[in-house]
Amino acid sequence: MSLALITGSCGLVGAESVRLFHEKGFDIIGIDNNQRKYFFGKDGDNNWVKSNLIQNYKKYDHYSIDIRNYGKLEKIFKKYKKKIKVIIHNAAQPSHDWALKKPQVDFDINAKGTLNLLELTKTYCPDSPFIFMSTNKVYGDNPNKLPLVEKKTRWEIKSNHKFYNGITENMNIDNAVHSFFGVSKTYADLLVQEYGKNIGLRTVCFRAGCITGPLHSGTKLHGFLSFLVKTIIKNKRYNLIGYKGKQVRDNIHSEDLVGCFWEYYKKPKRGEFYNIGGGRKSNCSIIEAINYVEEKMNLKVKKIYIKNNRVGDHIWYISDMKKFKKHYPKWKQKFSTTGILDELINK
């Protein structure tokens, strides 16, 4: 028996991970206590995903455990030990705004929860690849210091700039303003790297931009494209927070992202980290996303512009995936932003 232990299994990336690894023949241990409902209210409730997973995947076993609870996690690791062939850690507090209100809770979930899982992996299944869902927010607002140019519907960077094809892993994480969420995820990101470099675990961090897909329970504070499409169709209005709504988001479909996980699982490295996202194939500004939905749905959206941006928010961010593609050339990106939006509209 080969087991995949997946935290945040009812979230967007977690559920996609369940689907793929179940298809590959794994039994699944899903860990998710529906904290999204606590963070974001009924819009964030992912019990509908849990029901679907239990109903559709016969080898899925669900545990409603908080990753801060070391003792309860240890019972699972102690029971299955080396039968656990891969750990996919997606569980997190994912919101800038929420973290600012409750930084201790945010840090405990994102940092301590990750430390718990790394320690248990080291003790009970040290040969198993450990895949961590990190974030581009580890770079703080350093991307905003790039020489950006304002255009009609977006901010952009000159075509001769070294980061035109996307920001690489060489971007500095220091000398920047980070959100509290960015700080807790950076701590976890560095821990994951050091358990690979110092201890020898097969660990990897995927620093993603905006992740999206039809399994997303998008909310006001998290889930950009999903929430945008849902709000526009329902209310025909949308709040654009800061930067005139021209801030550029790089969008990767959860299916493409989990495809990266699979390639890494087959050929794991130690203490590695990758920028991962839509890249030049899949990105848009908020205004561009609204315009597309307006045209596609034949409706008019009331745009409400809010001058002040969120702390640590990026004006322009596109991921350069060159490093990952070099290490894992079999991975192919399927989805563009328009393809993602079409899927969300037709959901």
What one-character-per-residue DSSP string does 108-172 give? IIIIIHHHHHHHHHHHH-TTS-EEEEEEGGGGTTGGGGS-EEE-SS-EEE-TTSTTTT-B-TTS-
Output 230 or 279, whichever has higher pLDDT. 279
CA 140 to chain centre: 16
Q: Which range is least confidently modeled, 91-95, 199-203, 307-311?
A: 307-311
What integer is the mean pLDDT of 283-302?
93
Condensed to tens digits (0 to 9), the pLDDT of residues 241-290 reads 999 999 999 999 999 999 999 999 999 999 999 999 999 999 999 999 99
Q: Are 192 and 324 in contact (CB under 8 A)?
A: no
HSE-up of residue 341 (Cα within 13 Å, Cβ side): 25
What one-character-per-residue DSSP string does 110-121 give? IIIHHHHHHHHH
Name the residue with tokens 């076993």.
Answer: 61
pLDDT band at 216 (very low <50, low <70, confident <90, very high): low
pLDDT at 71: 98
Q: Are 241 and 227 in contact (CB under 8 A)?
A: no
Residues 6+ apart with CB under 8 A from 145: none
Q: Are 328 and 264 in contact (CB under 8 A)?
A: yes
CA atoms 174, 208, 270, 112: torsion sign: positive
| Cα–Cα distance measured from residue 202 to residue 179, given in angstroms and rounded to the nearest whole number | 28
List the CATH code of the domain at 3-345: 3.40.50.720
pLDDT band at 221 (very low <50, low <70, confident <90, very high): very low
| Cα–Cα distance measured from residue 106 to residue 68, given in angstroms and rounded to the nearest whole number | 11
Output 43 or 217, whichever has higher pLDDT. 43
Mean confidence (pLDDT) of the chain: 93
pLDDT band at 312 (very low <50, low <70, confident <90, very high): low
79 DSSP assignment: H
pLDDT at 313: 81
Q: Are 133 and 114 in contact (CB under 8 A)?
A: no
pLDDT at 256: 97
Output 310 or 58, whichever has higher pLDDT. 58
What backbone phi and psi angles, to 5 degrees, belong to 24? -80, 0
Predicted confidence (pLDDT) at residue 206 exceeds the cutoff of 70:
yes
Question: What are the start-end ranges of the E strands in 39-100?
Answer: 60-63, 84-89
Condensed to tens digits (0 to 9), the pLDDT of residues 331-341 reads 999 999 999 99
Predicted confidence (pLDDT) at residue 212 exceeds the cutoff of 60:
yes
Q: Are 4 and 29 in contact (CB under 8 A)?
A: yes
Percent of the chain whose predicted confidence (pLDDT) is above 70: 97
Cα three-residue angle 287-289-290, rounded to 5 degrees: 65
Condensed to tens digits (0 to 9), the pLDDT of residues 108-145 reads 999 999 999 999 999 999 999 999 999 999 999 999 99
Rg (CA), the chain: 19
pLDDT at 226: 81
Is 0.85 topped by the overall pTM? yes
